[in-house]
Structures are given as C-alpha cells and as structure tokens.
Structure 1
Amino acid sequence: MIVEVIKRRVAGLHQNTVIGSTDITDTWEPLEEGLLPLETTRHVSMIMITLSAKELEKSSVGYQSPLPEEQVKPYADVEYEENAQQLEVEVVMIMAEEEEEDNKMKDMLKFIGFRGRKRLWWPFSHPREGDNDINAPSSDVVEAVAVGEGQTEEGAVEQD
C-alpha cells in the first residue's frame, strides 16, 4: 500500500487508520430537453489513513507508532521543506464494488493540498485479470501521488 512506501521514505511518521463509509451522489444530466436530471446515491466503504510527523492520539484503535530508524531509507535526491515537521498526510481509499464504479471513481481522483497538509483520494479497485496483488493500485493512481504542490497531472487536481 502507498502508505507503507511513504512511511519507509520519511522517518518518524505516526499513523492512524479509521475504517468507515460515505455516501457518493452521482448526478446525470439529460441529453434531451424536457427531461429531469437523475441523481443516484451509493453507500461505499472507505479507509482513512492519517500520517503525521506530530504525535497522534495514541489511544485510538488504529494508531501505529513510527517505524524504527533502521527500517526507513529516505531518498537522497529529495529536498524537504523547512516546515517538513508540520506535514500531515491523509489517504482516503474508497472501495468500488464493480469495475464500472471503479472507472467512475478514477474520474473523481483528486489530489488536494492546503497549508502543509495533503489529502489524497485514492480509488481502491478490485483485482483484474493479470493483477498479482489485490491491493496494487493502477499506475495512474501511483503517478498522482507524485504530483507536487502547485503541479497538476492528468487525473489529479490540486486546489487551495
């Protein structure tokens, strides 16, 4: 999972995992005049993972302490900002139950950054023929993680 990769590249990250659900409403606009828009709401499962350089609530059921220093191998070519200690990352995985829903979810992929905090919406897809790992994201999802502040990439939108 992408969170494990991040934890093994940035030392001292505390993790909190919360499992929940959310409602997603799709609105379909008619192509013909005189028809009303169609709105459908679906209830989907999600996992929200918060990574923070600051200590998180240790009494939380999903809390994990930082990895030992010997398990962290930072990239040598990455420059961290001066306020890197205030970085907090939330990863929200929304689980799609069908391939059609999964394609809609990829259209909704967003990478939102605000004041030293990042939120990544990552559609979780079921394995397709030829997939080796049930949790392996498609390559376009992984590329969205690499989008930096002030940059956009196809499928990723950054907002203030």
Structure 2
Amino acid sequence: MVDLAQLKQDLDWKAVALLDELRENGGQANTTQLKHATGWNSSVIHYRYDKLADAGLVTTRKGHTDTDRIPPTVATLTDEGQQAIEDGLIDSFNLDQLTVRDLKEKTEHHDHRFSRLENQMNERDSHYDKRIADLETRMEEIEDALEEIANQSTIDKLFDR
C-alpha cells in the first residue's frame, strides 16, 4: 500500500515531475527522453531515479545501444508507482504548494531552456544566412560564366568559326 503522506515528504517536485513524464510516456522512458522532456541534465534525473526507486515507485535498468556509447538508463513505473499516481500523488504537487524557491528554480530552468533554444535558432539563422550568401555568390559566378560563353559564341559567329 502506498503512503502518500510519506511520499510527499520524501519526494520533491522534480521527482514527481519525472513520475508524471513516465506516466505520459506509457510507464517507461529512458534518460535521454526525460532530458528532452524536462531540460534537466542526467545527474538531476539519476538523482530522482534513485529517490523514486528507493520509494518503490520505479525500477531502473541499463538500456541497449548499437554504438560504443554508454546506453541510457531506462526507468519503468512499478505497480506501486502506478498506484501512487492513481491515488493523487502527482495532483498533490500543484504550483500553489511549491515554495518560492521551487518556483524560482522552475522559472530559471525555463529561462535557461528558452535561452538555449534561442541560441540554437540564432546559430541556424547565421548558418543559413552564410549558405544563402555563398549560393548567391555562386549564382553570380555562373551567370558571369554563361554571359562569357554567350559572348564567345557571338564572336565565333561573327568570325565564322
């Protein structure tokens, strides 16, 4: 049986947010998927894995990969984890119950994520601007070459070559 009161004391909002992401992902997700969903780094996620596993809400195992890279850890909801969700654990962690520090941290997290996305977009814009400029230069070179060929053809006709 799940003790919601104890879980609310033992878990922070990030652990509960991971639990919610697992639920949204069909009860299972790997670290990479959770990093993309939350914007958190691996150490934040693994720390919460440990907290959730200690509470009996998830199990973890190493995934598999076809490369030499270390495979991401896969977390799976346990029956107790599913029961805690059904009993309202996630719903009990709403924003009005978060501390100011938690809200500040969430805001900073979203600001950081937004800045990172903005930087990526700016890098792509710069990349595409450079490519467009390169293509425009190349088009001018091709147009000049075609004009030169046309002029040479006209000269050849004039001299009956």
TM-score normalized by structure 2? 0.21
Q: Which structure would you say has the larger Rg?
A: 2
Q: Which has the higher strand share?
A: 1
TM-score normalized by structure 1? 0.21
